[in-house]
Structure 1
Amino acid sequence: MSQHHTAYVETLVHVNCGNCDGYWGLSDIDVETITDREWFCTHCGHEAALGELVQND
């Protein structure tokens, strides 16, 4: 058995609603998946596509 730890990397997206400014997160998702559709705010139900994508380098 290996004595090393195993690490899994996931993409985590933080979304702020353009209507109510509520915040929620999406995990294990890629950029194409988040930009190819509209999303419902989990707080107020507002439906919209994502606008600006801010990426940390």
Structure 2
Amino acid sequence: MTYHVPSSPIQVSAFLDIQDYNYNNSMYTRKVLMRILVLYVHKKVCMRIILL
């Protein structure tokens, strides 16, 4: 199963890669971002199933 991921999370992750040089808690930020992304994709899939 393939998910269509919008380009905005990729841009956010690239922004976080730049921020890695500034913050020590970059791993925590990336973990939060991944959790938000998973919730977003899960919500989209659930909405698609409901619509079907």
Query: Structure 1 length as normaliser, TM-score?
Result: 0.25
User: Highest Rg: 1 or 2?
Assistant: 1
Query: Structure 2 length as normaliser, TM-score?
Result: 0.26
| Structure with higher RCO (Cα < 8 A, 6+ apart) | 2
Structure with greater proportional strand content: 1
